[in-house]
Amino acid sequence: MAVPIIAPWLEKLRSLEIPRSEILAAWGAITGSLALGWNILRQVRSKGCLKLEGIYQLDNAKPFLPPVFSVRVTNVGSKPVLVQGIAIQLKKGSEPSHHFIPCERPTMLARGKFFVQVIDRAGWIPTGARKLYAWDSSGKHWYLRRKEFRWLIEQHRRFIATESSRVAAV
């Protein structure tokens, strides 16, 4: 009582009297070609990708100072990226059109690494700010999501309003 272990299509190949070495050679050529194509595609498509997060940081040692406006830049891609700096783009017609905050020294970010760039120690965001982005050594711009940037501006306005009411009360 034999158990049919061999697939039916393999039985057909056996009946054609094709030597096993040729079948194995064809199998090796097909799998090798697929692996080569996958590796080429992975090399071509793999890139660095930056994620920006705007944050307000409080200094616990100096709680009476306003929060510091900073940007956390994280490499979420597979290749390292050399970050040159951060910029705030203003609305059209504004002079100047951008505020550039270059990194003290350009920072190479490997996959999963991050750094925090302080934009302003007083929590300042320019009026008329439209976009915030980081730029890398190739000149590519990596933008902070619009929803998150609007949230930052709203937090900034709330902080300014509470500070002005606190100063007026004193």
Using CA atoms, how far residue 28 sits from 8, 128, 160, in Å, is: 21, 62, 68
Rounded to whole angstroms, the Cα distance separating 125 from 144 reads: 14
Establish whether the linkage from the previous residue to 63 is cis, with ω within 30° of 0: no
Answer yes or no: CATH 1.10.3210 is held by domain 50-169: no
Tell me what pLDDT residue 35 has. 95
Query: Which residues have a Cβ under 8 Å from the Cβ of 60 and sit 6 or more positions away?
Result: none
- Closest CA relative to residue 119, chosen from 153, 158, 91, 146: 153
- Which pTM was predicted? 0.64
Rounded to whole angstroms, the Cα distance separating 167 from 170 reads: 5
Say if residues 106 and 84 touch (Cβ distance below 8 Å).
yes
Rounded to whole angstroms, the Cα distance separating 59 from 161 reads: 20
- Helix, strand or coil, per DSSP, at residue 34: helix
Q: What are phi and psi of 7, to 5 degrees?
A: -65, 150
Tens-digit pLDDT string for the chain (170 aa): 555 666 676 666 666 777 778 888 888 999 999 999 998 888 777 678 899 998 877 777 776 777 778 889 999 988 889 998 888 888 887 778 888 888 878 889 998 899 888 887 666 777 778 888 998 888 889 998 988 888 887 877 777 677 667 666 66
Q: What are phi and psi of 132, to 5 degrees?
A: -130, 130
